[in-house]
């Protein structure tokens, strides 16, 4: 950043200095030329043609340098085929006639006709009254004074702009170092956090860095929560597998007659527990994706077909805003696999424990998509509704199952920011399960 700022400042100041040098040089030169033109006009106004055709002045130029040989200020009047009338300062030298002009305007140019000095010459061709001759009036002056002024001007510009560039580069360096200094503090805080000296970045930071610190703290908190969930899953899984393993060990140690049946039964229980925790782990790992989304109706129709094949005597009806061609689809912020698993558990439970009729309603409400799954079964008493979400709890032990379905639905829904609640169905008289998931539209 400092090098970029230095390069940009140097480039801008070089361009600005070059342009300013051109403007000021032209202004100084124009002022110098203006003095030459003034003297030239004075000569023209005071010149006359003498009786012998020579040029005479009714008033001598006021500048005494024209009388001193080699003074650096000269004038000359000349014409083709005639003797020149030079100033005394030219002594034994003459100004070159130069090329012919097609107009009668004043011309100013540099000349190196005298080896020992550079001249700036202003000249004009005129025809004086009473003379058919075209006379060329020339006024010349040594350029040393002009070059000295330009040199002084450029030296001042270079020094001033160099000092300005140095000051701006130092300022940019200080701004960069001061502006990025808080990042050093952030690095130190992260090092302390990694070393275990702190669990959050708590040092006060400038407003420009504060959002970064907040995001870092949120990331640390998210990682801690993920690690805590992983530890809890491992503990829950270990606890869930401990009892079936103990039963199998006891049966094997006692050489029980029903050892095979016991192993199959307890292994099935363990597999269910492993599937449950794997489902939670998959959901936790995918919930951080902002692009996780699933179409509602394809998932519902897929689940409905699968459950209908298992429970052919059950009628499953669905209602809600269907997807239409050219319109937006109803979507939720959930992976399709997890949505299928939640809806599959709810609709299968309704078909299994209901009286033969299942009704599924889908609707949008305040940034969420609600799934209402109703059945015409006996329902669940209100005092049992909170307990039914615990793993392994079953109110009807006469039908196959492990009691993990609703627990899986609740856990996966909460991972994605949704909720699930049990109510009584007013239309069918059985259980109503209300699943709310964040809408992706």
Residues 6+ apart with CB under 8 A from 5: 169, 172, 173, 176
Q: Are residues 230 and 366 in the same domain?
A: no
- Please, what's the b/e burial string for 215-227 (b: 16 or more CB within 10 A of its CB; e: otherwise)? ebbeeeeeeeeee
> Whose CA is closest to 123, among 115, 134, 114, 133?
134
Number of residues that make up the chain: 441
Yes or no: say if 334 and 295 are a contact pair by the CB < 8 Å rule: no
Give the pair of three-digit tokens for residue 102.
């097609």
Contact in structure between 436 and 363 (CB atoms under 8 Å): no
Same domain, 99 and 49: yes
How far is the C-alpha of 181 from the C-alpha of 347, rounded, in Å?
Answer: 58
- Tell me how far apart the alpha carbons of residues 141 and 35 are, in angstroms, rounded to a whole number: 10
- The pLDDT value recorded for residue 180 is 84
pTM attached to this predicted model: 0.49
How many whole angstroms separate alpha carbon 59 and alpha carbon 46? Answer: 6
Residue 194 forms part of a structural domain: no
Beta-bridged to residue 75, according to DSSP, are 139
130: left (phi over 0), alpha (psi -120 to 50) or beta: left
Would you say residue 177 lies in a domain?
Answer: no
d(CA 405, CA 343): 10
Whether 7 and 133 share a structural domain: yes
203 falls within a domain: no
Whether 60 is covered by a domain: the verdict is yes
Q: State the CATH number of the domain containing residue 23.
A: 3.30.450
| Residue 204 lies inside a defined structural domain of this protein | no
422-425-430 Cα angle (round to 5): 85
Same domain, 430 and 314: yes
Helix (H) or strand (E) holding 358: strand 357-365
55: which 2 tokens? 């040029």
Encoding tokens for residue 37? Answer: 């033109």
Does residue 299 share a domain with residue 424? yes
Q: Do 103 and 14 reside in the same domain of the chain?
A: yes
- Give the pLDDT confidence score for residue 35 in this predicted structure: 93
For residue 115, what are its two tokens? Answer: 């080896």
Q: Which long-range contacts (CB under 8 A, 24 or more apart) does 396-401 make?
A: 396/353, 399/352, 399/353, 401/352
Question: Do 276 and 407 meet the contact criterion of CB atoms below 8 Å apart?
Answer: yes
Among residues 115, 150, 185, the one where a domain terminates is 150
In a domain, 251, yes or no: yes
Q: Do 239 and 364 fall within a single domain?
A: no
> Is residue 328 located within the same domain as residue 413?
yes
Q: Residue 394's pLDDT is what?
A: 46
| Helical H segments across 79-143, by residue range | none
In angstroms, the CA 271 to CA 416 distance is 24
Residues 37 and 76 reside in one and the same domain: yes
Domain boundary residue, one of 219, 251, 286: 286
- For the chain, report the end-to-end CA distance as a whole number of angstroms: 42
Residue 169, domain member (yes or no): no
Strand order in the sheet with 107-114: 85-86, 73-78, 134-142, 117-127, 107-114
Measured from the Cβ of residue 280, the count of other Cβ atoms closer than 10 Å reads 22
Counting the structural domains of the chain, the total is: 3
Residues 145 and 263 in one domain: no
61, 69, 110, 146, 194 from 65: Cα distances, Å: 9, 8, 20, 17, 87
The residue from 286, 311, 327 where one domain ends is: 286
13 and 47, same domain (yes or no) = yes
Tokens standing for 40?
Answer: 């030239």
Whether 215 maps to a domain, the answer reads yes
Looking at the structure, tell me whether residues 319 and 404 fall in a common domain: yes
Domain range holding 229?
A: 210-286
We report the CATH number of the domain holding residue 350 as 3.30.565.10
Two tokens, residue 97: 């006639």
pLDDT along the chain (441 residues), means of 10: 92 94 94 93 87 79 87 90 86 84 82 90 87 88 92 94 94 89 85 83 82 87 79 73 83 84 84 72 58 86 92 92 78 88 90 91 92 90 74 46 66 87 89 92 69
């Amino acid at each position: 950043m400092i090098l970029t700022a230095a390069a940009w400042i140097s480039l801008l100041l070089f361009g600005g200095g070059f342009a300013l040098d051109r403007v000021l040089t032209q202004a100084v030169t124009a002022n110098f030329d203006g003095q030459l033109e003034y003297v030239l006009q004075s000569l023209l106004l005071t010149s006359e043609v003498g009786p012998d055709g020579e040029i005479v002045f009714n008033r001598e130029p006021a500048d005494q340098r024209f009388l001193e040989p080699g003074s650096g200020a000269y004038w000359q009047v000349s014409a083709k085929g005639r003797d020149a009338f030079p100033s005394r300062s030219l002594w034994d030298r003459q100004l070159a006639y130069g090329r012919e002009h097609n107009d009668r305007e004043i011309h100013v140019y540099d000349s190196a006709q005298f080896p020992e000095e550079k001249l700036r010459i202003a000249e004009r061709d005129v025809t004086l009254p009473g003379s058919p001759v075209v006379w060329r009036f020339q006024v010349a002056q040594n350029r040393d004074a002009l070059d000295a002024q330009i040199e002084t001007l450029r030296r001042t510009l270079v020094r001033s702009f160099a000092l300005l560039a140095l000051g701006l580069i130092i300022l940019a360096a200080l701004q960069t170092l001061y502006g990025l200094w808080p990042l050093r503090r952030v690095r130190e805080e992260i090092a302390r956090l990694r070393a275990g000296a702190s669990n959050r970045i708590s040092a006060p930071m400038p407003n420009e860095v504060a959002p970064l610190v907040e995001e870092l703290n949120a990331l640390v908190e998210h990682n801690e929560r993920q690690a805590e969930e992983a530890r809890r899953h491992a503990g829950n899984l270990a606890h869930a597998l401990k009892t079936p393993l103990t039963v199998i060990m006891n049966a094997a140690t006692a050489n029980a007659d029903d050892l095979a049946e016991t192993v199959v039964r307890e292994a099935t229980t363990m597999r269910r527990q492993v599937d449950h925790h794997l489902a939670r782990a998959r959901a936790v790992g995918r919930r951080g994706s902002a692009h996780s989304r699933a179409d509602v109706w394809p998932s519902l129709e897929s689940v409905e077909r699968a459950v209908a094949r298992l429970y052919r005597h059950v009628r499953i009806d669905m209602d809600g805003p269907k997807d239409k061609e050219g319109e937006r689809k109803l979507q939720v912020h959930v992976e399709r696999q997890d949505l299928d698993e939640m809806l599959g558990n709810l609709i299968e439970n309704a078909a299994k424990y209901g009286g033969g009729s299942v009704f599924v309603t889908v609707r949008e409400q305040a940034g969420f998509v609600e799934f209402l799954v109703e059945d015409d079964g006996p329902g669940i008493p209100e005092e049992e509704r909170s307990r039914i979400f615990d793993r392994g709890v079953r109110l009807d032990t006469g039908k196959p199952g492990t009691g993990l379905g609703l627990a899986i639905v609740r856990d996966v829904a909460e991972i994605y920011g949704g909720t699930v609640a049990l109510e009584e169905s007013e239309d069918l008289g059985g259980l109503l399960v209300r699943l709310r998931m964040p809408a992706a539209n």
